[in-house]
Chain A
Amino acid sequence: MSVKSATMLKTTYREAVREAIRDAMRRDDRVFLMGEDVGKYGGCYAVSLGLLEEFGPERIRDTPLSEAAFVGAGIGAALGGMRPIVEVMTVNFSLLALDQIVNTAATILHMSGGQFNVPLVIRMATGAGRQLAAQHSHSLEGWYAHIPGIKVLAPATLEDARGMLWAAIEDPDPVLIFEHAMLYGQEGELAEDVAAVDIDKAVIRRAGSDVSLITYGGTFYKTMQAAAELAKDGIEAEVIDLRSLRPLDNGTILDSVRRTHRAVIIDEGWRSGSLAAEVSARITEGAFYELDAPVARVCSAEVPMPYAKHLEEAAIPQLPGIVAAAREVLGTHV
């Protein structure tokens, strides 16, 4: 992130997203936010709290419970010259709009021979951790990353929560932004005056030479903790924050693996057919002869998310599992 001013502000991930929306609304009057309860209620995760008062109901637009219709309307409004930000409460509910996203937003540029691009941003919460069970907790961003025609972002840090939105709005094509629900309360400092970040490069958040830990979104902080844990034993892990799940930044991933010769991918999606599977395949395609150990994956158990706390915790990637997987590929497990 290019920092224009040295003033740092204490903030949260939630406030960073809110500030990004506010900033975009001020910069470009074609931008508007629409979704269920974004206005009067203040957003189901309180992201848009206060924006209705500031921008009014035309631009902070409450919608009925009609995911297919308002996501589709977002596509139409984008085609019609606006720059909509559509909020879907949770990735599970975006499935009611899957037709519009996959069959229209992702295809219309191609089907029209390049005539109609869709400058639309769709934001939604994703992930588990709050005992919301099997219709509110899944990580389906890996599915969306399967679809050519859309871009898929997963901001994990405050900088990205703040900076990715504007870049996504400026993008001529549909961009989906996945905000892990457990990150909203994340606190930190952010430069007061920030510029947009790029949205197609992964970032090395921690340099290391022994193993590459590749992750994104909700498992990012757990992975950083795992790296710190490993460092106590003198193992220097490199942590890659993918940031963009589509396109995937092959260069950063492969360069890292060529240096460390070992890779563990941490992904809250289910293992089978996951984003982690895709990253693993790319490593074997692009750096097979550099590997000193098979690629490892830490993913969610293949079960719909259970309600009971102990089962939910066991179902998703956790610190000990990440550390153990890293030790395994290093051959240093005890």
Chain B
Amino acid sequence: MTTAEKTLNAQEHALHLLQQMLRIRRFEEKCAELYQATKIRGFLHLYIGEEAVATGVMEALQPDDAVVATYREHGHALLRGVSAEAIMAEMYGKQEGCSRGRGGSMHLFDKASRFYGGNAIVGGGLPLAVGLALADKLRGLKRVTACFFGEGAVAEGEFHESMNLAALWNLPVLFCCENTLYAMGTALARSESETNLTIKAASYEMPAWSVDGMDVLAVEEAAARAVAAIRAGGGPYFLEFRTYRFRAHSMFDPELYRSKEEVASWKERDPIELFSENLRGRGLLSDEDLVRLEQFAAEEVARAVDFAEAGSLEPLEELSRFVYSD
């Protein structure tokens, strides 16, 4: 490959990463708006500020790998290939939604992309991820299961039991801890005697690294290294991504527990801004590029809203479906 080709490849890839982060950001800004307009109901947890994490990790995964996420999972679903239309329709409670309107924002599921939810019990997804990985191992499949969770989950027994089991049985799980420093209103230092999360993971005898979750390149690199090690049979891997949620925990949070100054200082490290500036500085991002990326994201959001608006409600006669298999 010539130097010029390499630069071109690098630029294409960089713009792709930026595009992915923008897709999440614009999609969720629309969600917030639609929540105010009462189109979306229930709990809505936004990922705004944390986009670099899902973006970087998803780059490292193959299409047949599995993902387990939490209630803050719109971005993860979107980048795994669940269509914006299906996600938006889900939040509208329409039967064209990715969970037929049964799940809502917190319970996005998609079999085709091996997206296993959407779990709103903190820590509840970890044992599931361990089981998916166990099945792959037993079936001799070289697949990886990526499991996302917040640092709040680290206090749950299910976290510790899952870490132990995954390590004990040498299972192909990538544990992705999104450390936003607060679990709802509880700061990490007010909930953990040991706030160094990698030490906990390491105590289960698995590789554990802390990564700047605002730097999409750092996330991508760390995730790629981890996935390669897992796929090579090295067993589970733990990555802590240090990040921050810019918005309230959910739409019902007066944010009494953190200062405006703190939020503002983290916003200075907005992953999208940081990366854009980085690219501009290196001459890899022009104004026209940005307009194009923004337009793509805007069109995707507009399509999603149109699709959700046009969707239909599941007939009431079907209420008791999906309790058992047909």
Contacts and interface: CB of A to CB of B under 8 A. Distances in A.
B185 interface: yes
A40 B313 contact: no
Contact of A133 (B106, B183, B186, B192): B106
Interface in A132-158: 132-136
A95 B314 CA distance: 30
Contacts, number: 129
Interface stretch (A62-70, A103-111, A287-295): A62-70
A65 B316 contact: no
**Number of chain A interface residues as a range:** 35 or more
A310 B313 contact: yes
Interface stretch (A7-15, A187-195, A231-239, A300-308): A300-308
Interface residues of B, number: 45
The dominant DSSP class at the B interface is loop
Contacts of A130: 41-42
The dominant DSSP class at the A interface is loop
A40 B42 contact: no
A308 B155 contact: no
A1 interface: no
Nearest to B155: A64
Contacts of A39: 185
Contacts of B152: 64-65
Nearest to B99: A307
Contacts of A63: 191
Interface stretch (B5-13, B115-123, B283-291): B115-123
B104 A41 contact: no
Given A41-B184, A136-B120, A311 B102 contact: yes
B256 A311 contact: no
A92 B121 CA distance: 8
A73 interface: no
A131 B42 contact: yes
B126 to A, nearest CB: 12
Contacts of B233: none
A304 B100 CA distance: 14
A62 B184 CA distance: 11
Given A42-B185, A69-B157, A307-B104, A131 B41 contact: yes
Interface string B282-326: 000000000000000000000000000000011010011111000
A134 B186 contact: no
A130 B250 CA distance: 14
B157 A66 contact: yes
A67 B156 CA distance: 8
B320 A133 contact: no
Nearest to B157: A68
Contact of A40 (B94, B185, B321, B322): B185
Interface in A65-101: 65-69, 92-93, 96
A135 B106 contact: yes
Contacts of B106: 132-133, 135-136
A309 B107 CA distance: 15
Contacts of A36: 184, 186
A41 B156 contact: no
B186 A307 contact: no
B138 to A, nearest CB: 28
Nearest to A304: B323
Given A40-B257, A64-B191, A307 B103 contact: yes
Contact of A314 (B101, B102, B187, B319): B319
Contacts of B184: 36-37, 41, 44
B157 A136 contact: no
Interface string B33-47: 000000001110000
Nearest to A67: B156
B260 interface: no
B104 A131 contact: yes
Interface string A306-327: 1111110011000000000000
A93 B119 CA distance: 12
B79 to A, nearest CB: 22
Nearest to B191: A64
B254 interface: yes
A304 B106 CA distance: 14
A311 B316 contact: yes
Nearest to A69: B157
B253 to A, nearest CB: 8
Contacts of B321: 303
A314 B315 CA distance: 11
Contact of B103 (A133, A303, A309): A133
Given A64-B155, A133-B102, A306-B102, A40 B120 contact: no
13 contacts: A42-B254, A62-B186, A62-B191, A66-B157, A132-B106, A133-B102, A304-B102, A307-B99, A308-B314, A309-B93, A311-B93, A311-B314, A311-B316
Interface of B: 41-43, 90, 93-94, 99, 101-104, 106-107, 119-124, 152-153, 155-158, 183-187, 190-192, 253-254, 256-257, 313-314, 316, 319-323
Given A65-B122, A93-B121, A307-B104, 4 more contacts: A303-B319, A308-B101, A310-B316, A311-B93
